[in-house]
Chain A
Amino acid sequence: MTHRKNLLKAALLFNLLIFLAAAWIQAADKNSQPVHVTIGTILAGNQNDEFDARLKGMEKQLKVMKYRSYRWLKEESQDVAWGGNGVFEIPGGRSLSVAPQEIRNNRIALKVRLTEGQKPIIDTTVRIPNKGNFILGGPPHEGGALVLSISASAQ
């Protein structure tokens, strides 16, 4: 009887340790790897029907907005730590700040803030699929509108 009690205690202790170790490893792994954030900047307009060949990969996504022309302006990537803040320069004296908050169910929570000079334009919190993207658009630029493709990828 004593043998069984000892066995029960040992089994429970062993499994508790395994559970704690697994949770610790998962948490440590999640927190140690930065998030790869990429901002693609595109100019959408209606002056002509030009479609930049460099945007071929996201043509279907862009065509959702029904502009006639799309021109690739720039792309910038940064590795941003969890809880950190990546700042990206956007044409027109604007800047975009992206702060990864957490990952849950393979979805990354991002706090995104677009400013023009010191003035905030938009603050939003989104959850995007890991390696997925969303589009933030509308700020006027060179007679058209800026379209920002914001994507994030975590290990």
Chain B
Amino acid sequence: MKHCDDIREFLGAWLDGELDPSEAEAVRLHVADCPACAEERRQLEKLQVAMKSVFSTEGERIAFEPFWHGVRSRIERNRPWHAELIEWLRSALEAPRLVWAVPAMIVVLIVALSLNSIWPSLKWWGQRNNYVAVESIDAHGRNVALLREDDTKTTVIWLYQNPEGENDTSEEPAQSGPTF
């Protein structure tokens, strides 16, 4: 921004305080050393003062309310709800694809996790059979057998009598155990 033409492009924004600090400082230093740009600045400031006085005196005479009413009515007439919806959808669909990939994955996960709740009888890959899964057995020293039968998909946990009758207070021994 060393040329006067470049600086003058920024003078208006500088006077309005719209430049970032580094740009504003560059303009300020140049204007301090350049009589031509300093003159340009004075002209702009005069113009701003003149415009402010015109607006402040003449603006009060203008009836803005009917003007805004007309603008508002035109906006409402020309933009029905479905037009706004279509515009919103268009802007949404123009968003990056990732925006839709993430919610799509979440929806798929929710549906997959909820499938069994919605449709309990549904069999899927995670549920290959109807067998009971026995995670632990503690028969407290007794003999125990675990049987799984294919046809009826039955799981049987069978307790056997101790031959010596140890640790068993029952006075009614079974006639014989099952043969499975």
Is the pair A106, B135 in contact by a Cβ cutoff of 8 Å? Answer: no
Interface size for B (C-beta < 8 A) is 53
CB-defined contacts of A125 to chain B, threshold 8 Å: 134-136
Residue A87, interface by CB 8 Å:
no
Q: Of all chain B residues, which has the CB nearest A14? A: B103
Is the pair B156, A7 in contact by a Cβ cutoff of 8 Å? Answer: no
Is the pair B157, A4 in contact by a Cβ cutoff of 8 Å? Answer: no
Contact residues, B161-180 vs A (CB, 8 A)? 161, 169-170, 172-180
Is the pair A144, B175 in contact by a Cβ cutoff of 8 Å? Answer: yes
Is the pair B156, A134 in contact by a Cβ cutoff of 8 Å? Answer: yes
Is the pair B139, A126 in contact by a Cβ cutoff of 8 Å? Answer: no
CA A64 – CA B150 in complex, angstroms?
10
| A124 and B156 contact, Cβ closer than 8 Å, known pairs A15-B106, A66-B180, A119-B169 | no
Is the pair A106, B172 in contact by a Cβ cutoff of 8 Å? Answer: no
Contact residues, A115-131 vs B (CB, 8 A)? 116-117, 119-131
Q: Of all chain A residues, which has the CB nearest B119? A: A106
A-contact 0/1 string along B66-101, CB 8 Å cutoff: 000000000000000000000000011011100110
Residue A31, interface by CB 8 Å:
no
Residue A73, interface by CB 8 Å:
no
Contact residues, B126-156 vs A (CB, 8 A)? 126-127, 130, 132-140, 142, 144, 147, 149, 151-152, 154-156
Shortest 3 CB-CB contacts between residues of A and residues of B: A138-B159, A140-B174, A65-B178
Binding site for B on A (CB under 8 A): 3-4, 7-8, 11-12, 14-15, 18-19, 22, 26, 29-30, 44-47, 60-61, 64-67, 92, 105-107, 109, 116-117, 119-132, 134-145
CB<8 Å pairs between A and B, sample of 13 = A3-B91, A8-B95, A45-B175, A60-B151, A64-B152, A64-B154, A65-B158, A92-B170, A122-B139, A124-B157, A129-B130, A140-B173, A143-B175
